[in-house]
Amino acid sequence: MENLIEYTQNSYDFKITVKPAYLPEKSSPEDNNYFFIYKIKIKNESAKPAKLISRHWIITDGRGRVEQVEGPGVVGEQPVIGAGEEFEYVSACPLSTPTGNMRGTYTMQALDGIKFKITIPVFFLRTEVYH
């Protein structure tokens, strides 16, 4: 996933970085199936640890159809991200169009029990490769 466009958002002393990529080998355009992956890095730039409780995604395909996905944690985990630490994961999104975008939020919980949402930047899913 080198030389890809990187999207970054700072929210509540957390820095979210997303690098999406198209996987032609897992796609079948003739069947309107386009497979994208994205690597996300969540860096806690605050002085306090926080746990990632849940995610909320808003996925829009190239025809403007919107799907919302909510659930606990990410990739089966609810990581505690310590002060100055980061958590990375890779996930995927199939689309029926060659373009689309994703955006969303993570619900975090500080050790004192206070919950807050951090913003995931809007990022674009495209079959074309831009360097």
Burial 2-41 (b: 16+ CB within 10 A, else e): eebeebebebeebebbbbbbbeeeebeeeeeebbbbbbbe
32 domain residue, yes or no? yes
Containing structural domain, residue 115: 7-126
pLDDT band at 130 (very low <50, low <70, confident <90, very high): very low
pLDDT band at 2 (very low <50, low <70, confident <90, very high): low
33 domain residue, yes or no? yes
Distance, in Å, from the CA atom of 17 to the CA atom of 62, rounded to the nearest integer, reads 23
62 domain residue, yes or no? yes
Tell me how crowded residue 52 is: count the other CB atoms within 10 A of its CB: 23
Q: Rounded to 10 degrees, what is the CA torsion of 46, 47, 50, 52?
A: 20
Average pLDDT for 16-31:
96
Q: Residue 20 forms beta bridges with which residues?
A: 38
Q: What is the CATH number of the domain that holds 88?
A: 2.60.40.1470
Per-residue pLDDT tens over the stretch 54-75 = 999 999 999 999 999 999 999 9
For residue 4, is pLDDT > 90? no
For residue 3, is pLDDT > 90? no
Per-residue pLDDT tens over the stretch 77-127 = 999 999 999 999 999 999 999 999 999 999 999 999 999 999 999 999 999
Total count of domains within the chain: 1
Closest by alpha carbon to 40, among 60, 68, 71, 14?
Answer: 14
2 domain residue, yes or no? no
